[in-house]
Structure 1
Amino acid sequence: MLKQRLRVALQKPVSIYRKNKSRFLVVGLLAVAAGCSTGDDKLPILGQREAITKTVNGKSVTDSVYHTIPDFKFVSQYGDTVTAKNLAGKIYVADFFFTTCPTICPKMKVQLKRVYEKFKGNPDVALLSHTINPDHDSVAVLKEFADNLGVTGKQWLFVTGDREKIYDIGQNSYMVTAQQDSSAPGGVVHSGAFILVDKDKHIRGIYDGTTEKGVDNLMNDMDRLLAEYKK
């Protein structure tokens, strides 16, 4: 299952951004191979693990610390501050886009709207879309964009902020491409991936957000992940 998801996630972004434009995505997804299955029918926890040695009751104990999404501070389409606290107790899907994207973003938003409609009103689910063109995508622009998609409320947040911080969290935390590239359509390069994050801020899946099949897999895994917490 893990190898199949990796293969699907890798195929589309690499075909979209040839040559070296997808290097961060490829590196990030290869790092997923270090993810470890949690057993039973649970989704694996993706990303590299770090061995931490500590002293417990006078004995040296080594634990594995899984890759987690760090805290962040962005601004939503409503003009309010969004941090990791806004997503506490929720699983969520993250992606990267920009409102004037001429290539894959329209496909991605059509597919993410399917996720939004399926889980609309579920207090345990959130969506978080990061613009990678904050110079253009102001709060007002993001609000208009969300309105045009038919998105209401705060379950699906479109966030903007410092460009470098957005690129950093995309590449180093979510393990996907997010960078400027003057040769790319729209002047920026980003992954078409949707990233599934659990309530502990661990990445549990990376999916092709440009295809119906990829998003079907995402929604199935969201159901599986929610079922883990019910148990």
Structure 2
Amino acid sequence: MNKYLIFVLSLLVWGCGQKGQQRLPILGEREPVTKEVDGKTVTDTLYQTIPTFSFINQDSTIVTDKDFDNSIYVADFFFTSCPSICPVMSKNLLKVLNKYQGNEEVKILSHSIDTKYDTPWVLKRYANKLGVKGNQWQFVHGTQRDIYGIADKYMVYAKEDAQAPGGFEHQGWLILVDKEKRIRGAYDGTDDNQVAQLMQDMDILLGEYKGGHEK
């Protein structure tokens, strides 16, 4: 759990200095990399990125990390029978979808942590109930190993727990990922103010690319 604590602390530091900021921080682990450039030794920073993945979506179609190339996206972890935070998170993600509807540079990726029950058919029913159509918002199913493994890369805590509501314990983060697959923000998906901040930050992130500042 130590790295999740470090992640939360980094968010608090980021939030304290965010006012007036027009470029988002890059969150997660990082390491210095030394290389030769034009005969000179320079040190660059290698940032944590989301690794390659392959899941099945609500339409029983394979979805991979390549489907999110050239797009920023918001990722979350949920399950369709969740009796606690998931319904609120999904309703707030609808706000994101409605704002960026039809924008090919913006996508949403929801991973089900109930790998036994949430088959593509169940995910399709859930998407239909929300009124989600098209492929801008993907709901994906995978093996427990793959889903929980990728949650770790997004710095989101999730596990089966018979004592937790619905049988699963998980965080309600909405994770903002840039076109280079780097984490650029994390927001409480149950908090209206933080969801509003997410959309403001998405505008800033899109502006970074329009301004030619991506690195």
Equivalent position amino acid for 1:53 in 2: T
2:104 is matched with which residue?
Answer: 123
Secondary structure, counterpart of 1:159 in structure 2:
strand
1:214 aligns with 2:194: yes
Unaligned runs of 5+ residues in structure 1 are: 1-21
2:168 is matched with which residue?
Answer: 188
Runs of 4+ in 1 over 2 A off after TM superposition: 22-35, 53-62
Equivalent position amino acid for 2:154 in 1: Y
Note the alpha carbon deviations across 1:170-216, whole angstroms, 9 max, x for none. Answer: 12x11111111221111111111100001111111100100211100
Equivalent position amino acid for 1:62 in 2: T
Give how far 1:31 is off: 5.4
1:100 aligns with 2:54: no
1:26 aligns with 2:5: yes
1:45 aligns with 2:26: yes
* TM-score, normalising length: structure 2: 0.89
Give how far 1:52 is off: 1.6
The RMSD of aligned alpha carbons is 2.2
Equivalent position amino acid for 2:209 in 1: Y
Unaligned runs of 5+ residues in structure 2 are: none
2:119 and 2:77 map into 1 onto residues whose CA distance is 15
Identity %: 50
1:163 aligns with 2:139: no
* TM-score, normalising length: structure 1: 0.83
1:55 and 1:108 map into 2 onto residues whose CA distance is 46
> After the TM superposition, which of the residue ranges 59-68 and 127-136 deviates more from structure 2?
59-68
Secondary structure, counterpart of 2:49 in structure 1:
coil
1:198 aligns with 2:178: yes
1:62 is matched with which residue?
Answer: 43
Note the alpha carbon deviations across 1:142-164, whole angstroms, 9 max, x for none. Answer: 00100110000000000010112
The 8 Å contact of residues 28 and 176 in structure 1, kept in 2 or not, is answered as no
